[in-house]
Amino acid sequence: MTSSISEIERYFRQLARRRQWISLIAATYLRLGFPALLALAILYREELSDAFWPVIAATSLAQILSVLVRAATGKSEYAFFEYRDLEREHEELESRHEAEKYRSRAAVYSVQALRYASQVVVDAMETTNEGERENLEQLVREALFPVVEFRSELFGFTEERYNFAVYQHDPELNALHVLYRDVHRDIPRQDREWKPGFGHVGFCFIREEAVFSSDVRESEELSDDQSETDDDHYVSIAAAPIFALDEEANPRGVLVITSSAPDQFEKAIHRPFLIAIANVLALLFHIADE
């Protein structure tokens, strides 16, 4: 549609340039020619005698034709440009509508995912028998099930290669190792450990705040720790720290979601949800310690 409009626009612009001289002559006649001819006809009325009224009629007809020519040279161009502006306004409104519809759908699924994850916490707290309680990896997997399952509704994933992971900090080794991970089938699993401050995982850990990158390849802070294959699979990044539930509230891990496409995540929409899910995981970490 856009290319077709551009071609039509070029046609009308060329047409307008060809007609501009005709329009200029018609405008000049309306402003100067007709008043001058009318004045001369009136001035030499007696000399014209019987030809006076035919001259007036011919002059008036020439004026009418000039008006029609001037209108015709601009009408089609103006009509097209008005249509073009309306078309662009319609496309903009349609784009806004789709964006708002996506945000509304994402909000609904965010609430449902948080409700499900919260129920996992409640069930774990109510399980008093330690032998019957699931281990931390199982609890995290269950809590994140709706987040992964509804990744399309929550984050707009379609054919992009996704990666959902939770890293747990090991104080003795001072390293973050993979506790849970669910990845796209085309991403080769390495499950690397990250030192605090290195990679997007370690960077989020030491920053102690949610980290977003629309394209990690363009980030000076994160791109240095990316390998060539990483650049193919991990482009957009959203990460949030998982804090300890004590007075010091130091980070104990990191929740990470990545995409192989740029601009996958919208910070305004996904940051609150990511932090909320990370807080739920913090509760599960605490429960698993008891």
* pLDDT level of residue 99 (50, 70, 90 thresholds): confident
* pLDDT level of residue 8 (50, 70, 90 thresholds): low
Across 23-37, 97-111, 244-258, the highest mean pLDDT is recorded for 244-258
Across 88-92, 117-121, 248-252, the highest mean pLDDT is recorded for 117-121
**Structural domain tally of the chain?**
2
Strands (E) located in the chain: 162-170, 175-183, 211-213, 236-243, 251-259
**Would you say 23 and 68 are in contact if contact means Cβ atoms under 8 Å apart?**
no
Q: What is the pLDDT of residue 98?
A: 78
According to DSSP, the residues that pair with 181 across neighbouring strands are: 165
For 168, the 3-state DSSP assignment is strand
Q: What is the pLDDT of residue 218?
A: 84
Q: Is residue 204 part of a domain?
A: yes
Residue 91 pLDDT greater than 60, yes or no: yes
Q: What is the pLDDT of residue 68?
A: 65
Residue 189 and residue 93 in one domain: no
pTM of this structure: 0.68
* pLDDT level of residue 72 (50, 70, 90 thresholds): low
Residue 75 pLDDT greater than 90, yes or no: no
**Would you say 234 and 226 are in contact if contact means Cβ atoms under 8 Å apart?**
yes
**Would you say 78 and 23 are in contact if contact means Cβ atoms under 8 Å apart?**
no
Q: What is the pLDDT of residue 193?
A: 92
Mean pLDDT, residues 180-204: 92
pLDDT, tens only, 46-59? 665 566 566 566 66
Q: Is residue 124 part of a domain?
A: no
Residue 42 and residue 179 in one domain: no
Mean pLDDT, residues 96-115: 87
Q: Is residue 120 part of a domain?
A: no
Domain boundary among 72, 97, 122: 97
Residue 80 pLDDT greater than 90, yes or no: no
pLDDT, tens only, 16-27? 666 655 556 656
Q: Is residue 118 part of a domain?
A: no
Residue 179 and residue 275 in one domain: yes
**Residue 273 or residue 28, greater confidence:** 273
Mean pLDDT, residues 158-171: 95
Q: What is the pLDDT of residue 290?
A: 75
Residue 246 pLDDT greater than 70, yes or no: yes
Q: Is residue 105 part of a domain?
A: no
Name which of 173, 163, 179 is nearest 232 in CA terms: 163
**Residue 87 or residue 289, greater confidence:** 289
Mean pLDDT, residues 205-213: 94
**What's the CATH number where 148 sits?**
3.30.450.40
**Residue 173 or residue 4, greater confidence:** 173
Q: Is residue 112 part of a domain?
A: no
Residue 91 and residue 181 in one domain: no
Residue 155 and residue 93 in one domain: no
Residue 162 and residue 267 in one domain: yes
Q: What is the pLDDT of residue 126?
A: 84
**Domain region containing 19:** 2-97
Residue 129 Rama label (left phi>0; alpha psi -120 to 50; beta): beta
Residue 49 and residue 160 in one domain: no
Residue 78 and residue 148 in one domain: no
Residue 146 and residue 210 in one domain: yes
Per cent of the chain over pLDDT 70 is: 66
Residue 253 CB partners (closer than 8 Å, separation 6+)? 166, 167, 168, 169, 176, 179, 205, 241, 242, 281, 285
